[in-house]
Amino acid sequence: MAAHHKMDDRVGRDRLEEMAQGVIGEPLDRPEGELKVSGRATYAMDGLPAGCRHGVLVRSTVAKGRLRAFDVDSVERLPGVRAVIADDRFIKNPAQGMAGKAPAQDTREILFFGQPVALVVADTFEQARHGAQILRQEVERAEDAPVSLDDPTAQLDTPSNKQSSSGDIDAAMRASPFTIDATYTTPGHASAAMEPHASVATWEDERLTLQASYQMLRYNRAELADALGIEEDNVRLLAPYVGGGFGSKLGIAPEAVAAAIASKELGTPVGVAMTRQNEFEMVLRRSDTRQRIRLAADETGRLIGIGHDALVTNLPGEKFSEPVTQATPFLYCGDNRAIGHKIARIHRTPSGSVRAPGEAVGVTALEIAIDELAAACGIDPVELRRRNIPDQDPSKEIPFSSHMLAKALETGAARFGWSKRNASPGEVREGEWLIGLGMASAARVNMLIESKASVTLTKQGRATIETDMTDIGTGTYAILGQVAAEMLGLPVTDVETRLGDTNLPPASGSGGSFGAASNGTAVFLACEEIRQQLCTKLDCNPEDLTLKDRHAVVGNRRIPVVDILNGEDIRGEGHVEPGEAEDKVRQATYGSYFAEVAVNSVTGEVRVRRMLGVFAAGRILNAKTARSQCLGE
Amino acid sequence: METDTRTTLLDALRNDLGLTGTKKGCDHGQCGACTVLADGRRINSCLTLACMHDGEEIVTIEGLGAPGRLSALQRAFIHHDGFQCGYCTPGQICSASAMLGEIEAGWPSSVTADVAGRPDLTAQEVSERMSGNLCRCSAYPNIIEAILDVAKAKGS
């Protein structure tokens, strides 16, 4: 039986609050903690199957060109080497997040330095690595190719769906007493998860099993099947533990396709792990950016105009472009607006989603500009931001689902001691150290992604959650267990959570900060379905059922849940999908940052002495893992 | 055991002995995920060849504790949430185990004010001494709390 919910409108009641177990939000330890601290949690390359060969990727050594041939013979003669494989189905780079189909193939066409071009497979890792290091490539080099953001020979794309304007920003800039017109640049970033990309492929007839390190398994299965030209049903992905993602493991990557092809060709399992160097060369990077920001304010510091023009980079043909201006349309008020977005096509590792795509670099630059405006107006930076909080989304003219920026600013300022700040630069010194206080607003758009999960209440009265969701360190095992325990009136130790297997119901995956809300809701719905079935057995209304400590309480009856189950399992499926709410209301998380920074006046050394983050992150499912997310990840 | 002369201690542990608790994060001594104890000293097992350790006692995370019989540090890492994805964790815990011994033995670090005196058990000392172990999830504040908890319990 399935419970389905489409997110069209505010639900208007808080079902979790109506529950009685009292575990939701509690700072409980992670249930997989014992395995992780003892080295027993199995990541992709842990526990290789018997007879597994090792593959090492070979990379291109030019930025653009055509691969004519390899000196295969001299490598295949090496002891232990089984094959040098370069297949038309190999992929150049990882798929973009949620692509659901293969990224660019044909690795003989070289489009960036470090692109994978071949795989050397041997009995041992050392043999394969040696072969990969000495494999000679015969390459026809292309003419010079643009590789930097401001190369004048780079083609500049101006995607029409990424430009928008209202009012007249130029007129606003001319008419305002206070203006900022500044250009900021940010460098590219690498995700650099601690666990490098790794895949171990095993075939049984036409069925492929891949133990791997990925964030979004249902998409990854489709991408891998498409790259290989086989049916999705013949592909199973396993990723029970993922050693960090940060966006780098959203889409299927070259090592997975290469391992699958090599394994099929050799008839043995093949494991391929990227080297750390590969991570920086063939995994999608965050684009470097150049951002021009224009702000126009009246005498009171109230914004009349905002302009945000971004230039980012990507490989020719890649659809993704860093959504730099994502938060600009709704963060602050201002009637005159202009958003511009250009992509310089260059021959470097393609860019893609890296931790908080858009806001990480876009809000940073916007907030620096707001600080400059605060200085120009002579208004306190917290107060200036507070004055510019809009009462509805100023671009779409729709209401906010909720808006916590003012509260976050106020709470942060009070806790940090902002009122003690000396606003004149260079006035606070401790010996050779200059001390300054600074702050910024935080914003991140909220998304909901279609997600499914099943929950089984077994005849022994325990619960099992099943979904192909991943835990990349974010605490999925902990929070899903807490949702089910709360809904079914069980101690968390009575709930088992099975993740990371595409044989289980397809989840949102981990990405975009939507995992807990999307997949947590699917588990919640599955539990609602189980509660409904219990009500049928008890002949009561859902509102009258209390589940707590393995018992059902209805009216004046208190019955052990195992007695109601009477030797039978109950299974519920939950299915959530986004709906009209996306268009009806603007949804975002808000927060504030405050920092005390020391700069050495002699050496320029920078030290962050204390920092405070205040976040309105919605319902907290586990206070311990949520706090850890605020500190890092 | 017999192994290729090119095999690092890390790959020997993982591939030849099946001890996969020790992790490969960078394979060139920058991240510390492969930290093990060789005759009691913490080392990056990716930076040394297996054949150089004939006859030595190597202790990996598997040797420090197992579910149901965890060491004090392992329990503290769980309690303080000193990890997220967990990939750097075995290396952090091996490193911290040896590090506490180094402080106890009076070894100074580059933040010890008086190198001739006994180093204090401060967050700054622990942070400096654990700087060879990277955590991309940035659980550092929790890792330091976990280590200080265990160190203080030992000292009291």
Note whether B47 and B82 are same-domain residues. no
Mean pLDDT of A70-82: 97
Please answer yes or no on whether A38 and B62 come within 8 Å at the CB atom.
yes
In a domain, B2, yes or no: no
Question: What backbone torsions phi and psi does residue A145 show, to the nearest 5 degrees?
Answer: -115, 145
- Taking Cα atoms as reference points, which of A466, A464, A468, A465 lies closest to residue A449? A468
Note whether B78 and B140 are same-domain residues. yes
**pLDDT reported for residue A425:** 87
Mean pLDDT of A435-449: 96
Please answer yes or no on whether A29 and B79 come within 8 Å at the CB atom.
yes
Residues 6+ apart with CB under 8 A from B42: B35, B36, B94, B95, B97, B98, B99
Kindly provide the residue ranges of all beta strands, DSSP E only, lying in A158-302, ordered along the sequence: 164-166, 178-186, 198-204, 207-212, 235-238, 270-273, 289-297
Question: What backbone torsions phi and psi does residue A436 show, to the nearest 5 degrees?
Answer: -135, 150
Counting one residue from A and one from B, how many pairs have CB atoms under 8 Å apart? Answer: 153
Note whether B33 and B89 are same-domain residues. no
Please answer yes or no on whether B24 and A196 come within 8 Å at the CB atom.
yes
B32 touches chain A (CB under 8 A): no
- Taking Cα atoms as reference points, which of B30, B142, B37, B13 lies closest to residue B98? B37
Cα–Cα distance for residue pair B13/A573, rounded to 1 Å: 43
Token digits for A551? Answer: 């018992």
User: What's the distance, CA B24 to chain centroid?
Assistant: 13
Model pTM above 0.95? yes
Residues from chain A that touch B16, judged by Cβ atoms under 8 A, are none
Three-state SS for A482?
A: helix
For residues A410 and A616, the answer to whether their CB atoms sit within 8 Å is no
Please answer yes or no on whether B137 and A633 come within 8 Å at the CB atom.
yes
Q: Name the residue among B21, B24, B27 with its Cβ closest to that of A39.
A: B21
Query: What burial class does residue A371 get, using C-beta atoms within 10 Å of its C-beta: 0-12 exposed, 13-18 middle, 19+ buried?
Result: middle
Nearest CA distance, A203 vs chain B (angstrom): 21
pLDDT at A1 over 90: no
For residues A238 and A211, the answer to whether their CB atoms sit within 8 Å is yes
In a domain, B3, yes or no: no
Mean pLDDT of A599-606: 97
CATH 3.90.550.10 fits A53-143+198-278, yes or no: no
CATH label, A398-446+580-633, candidates 3.40.50.300, 3.30.365.10, 3.30.1490.190, 1.10.10.10: 3.30.365.10
In a domain, B79, yes or no: yes
**pLDDT reported for residue A625:** 97
CA nearest to A625 within chain B: B81
Which domain range does residue B71 map to? Answer: 65-155
CATH number at residue B141: 1.10.150.120
Note whether B77 and B106 are same-domain residues. yes
Percent of chain A with pLDDT over 90: 98
Residues from chain B that touch A193, judged by Cβ atoms under 8 A, are 85, 87, 136
Cα–Cα distance for residue pair A553/A535, rounded to 1 Å: 11
Cα–Cα distance for residue pair A83/A53, rounded to 1 Å: 10
Please answer yes or no on whether A194 and B25 come within 8 Å at the CB atom.
yes
Residues from chain B that touch A611, judged by Cβ atoms under 8 A, are none
Best of A37, A493, A622 to mutate (most B CBs within 10 Å, chain B): A37
B84 touches chain A (CB under 8 A): yes
Mean pLDDT of A202-223: 98
Which pLDDT tens digit goes with each residue over A21-45? Answer: 999 999 999 999 999 999 999 999 9
Note whether B49 and B95 are same-domain residues. no
Best of B47, B85, B133, B150 to mutate (most A CBs within 10 Å, chain A): B85
Token digits for A136? Answer: 């000679």
Kindly report the average pLDDT of chain A as a whole number.
Answer: 97
Cα–Cα distance for residue pair A383/A162, rounded to 1 Å: 31
Report how far apart the first and last C-alpha atoms of chain A are (Å, whole number): 36
Q: Name the residue among A245, A275, A628 with its Cβ closest to that of B142.
A: A628
Which pLDDT tens digit goes with each residue over A340-364? Answer: 999 999 999 999 999 999 999 999 9
Note whether B56 and B105 are same-domain residues. no
CA nearest to B85 within chain A: A473
Show the 3-state SS of A314-379.
Answer: ECCCCCCCCCCCCCHHHHCCCCEEEEEEEEEECCCCCECCCCCCCHHHHHHHHHHHHHHHHHHHCC
User: Tokens 């890092």 — which residue?
Assistant: A632
User: Tokens 């105009």 — which residue?
Assistant: A305
Please answer yes or no on whether B21 and A38 come within 8 Å at the CB atom.
yes
Cα–Cα distance for residue pair A472/B5, rounded to 1 Å: 35
Which pLDDT tens digit goes with each residue over A294-349? Answer: 999 999 999 999 999 999 999 999 999 999 999 999 999 999 999 999 999 999 99
Q: Do A2-22+449-578 and A53-143+198-278 have matching folds? A: yes
Mean pLDDT of A48-74: 97
Residues from chain A that touch B4, judged by Cβ atoms under 8 A, are 124, 126-127
The residue among B18, B40, B63 that closes a domain is B63
Note whether B128 and B58 are same-domain residues. no
Cα–Cα distance for residue pair A421/A104, rounded to 1 Å: 53
Three-state SS for A278?
A: helix
Note whether B123 and B136 are same-domain residues. yes
Residues 6+ apart with CB under 8 A from A359: A326, A327, A442, A443, A444, A445
Mean pLDDT of A250-262: 98
For residues B24 and A273, the answer to whether their CB atoms sit within 8 Å is yes
Cα–Cα distance for residue pair A405/B90, rounded to 1 Å: 39
- Taking Cα atoms as reference points, which of B139, B61, B146 lies closest to residue A473? B139
Please answer yes or no on whether A193 and B136 come within 8 Å at the CB atom.
yes
For residues A474 and A633, the answer to whether their CB atoms sit within 8 Å is yes
Which pLDDT tens digit goes with each residue over A182-200? Answer: 999 999 999 999 999 999 9
**pLDDT reported for residue B156:** 57
Cα–Cα distance for residue pair A37/A284, rounded to 1 Å: 30
**pLDDT reported for residue A633:** 62
Cα–Cα distance for residue pair A170/A187, rounded to 1 Å: 28
How would you list the strands of the sheet with A235-238, edge to edge? Answer: A81-85, A116-122, A53-59, A270-273, A198-204, A207-212, A235-238
CATH number at residue B31: 3.10.20.30
Task: Tell the CATH topology of A2-22+449-578.
Answer: Aldehyde Oxidoreductase; domain 4 (3.30.365)
Best of B4, B13, B137, B143 to mutate (most A CBs within 10 Å, chain A): B137
CA nearest to A123 within chain B: B15
Q: Name the residue among A38, A276, A632 with its Cβ closest to that of B137.
A: A632
Please answer yes or no on whether A45 and B20 come within 8 Å at the CB atom.
yes
* B residues 100-119 lying closer than 8 A (beta carbon) to A: none
pLDDT at B155 over 80: no
Taking each continuous run of H as one helix and of E as one strand, the counts in chain B are 6, 3
Residues from chain B that touch A29, judged by Cβ atoms under 8 A, are 78-79, 81
B83 touches chain A (CB under 8 A): yes
Please answer yes or no on whether B139 and A628 come within 8 Å at the CB atom.
yes
Residues from chain B that touch A124, judged by Cβ atoms under 8 A, are 4, 7, 15
Triad A277, A248, A197: Cα angle to 5°: 55
Please answer yes or no on whether B24 and A32 come within 8 Å at the CB atom.
no
Question: What backbone torsions phi and psi does residue A595 show, to the nearest 5 degrees?
Answer: -145, 145
**pLDDT reported for residue A12:** 86
Residues 6+ apart with CB under 8 A from B91: B22, B23, B25, B31, B32, B33, B34, B35, B61, B133
Mean pLDDT of A8-26: 95
Residues from chain B that touch A46, judged by Cβ atoms under 8 A, are 14, 20
pLDDT at A579 over 70: yes
The letter for the amino acid at A401 is S
Cα–Cα distance for residue pair A202/A209, rounded to 1 Å: 5
Q: In terms of DSSP H, where are the helices of A117-275?
A: 125-134, 169-175, 217-228, 254-266
Could you state, in order of their start, the residue ranges of all structural domains in chain A? 2-22+449-578, 53-143+198-278, 398-446+580-633
How would you list the strands of the sheet with A109-110, edge to edge? Answer: A109-110, A65-70, A137-141
pLDDT at B152 over 60: yes
Note whether B142 and B130 are same-domain residues. yes
Which pLDDT tens digit goes with each residue over A103-144? Answer: 999 999 999 999 999 999 999 999 999 999 999 999 999 989
In a domain, B1, yes or no: no
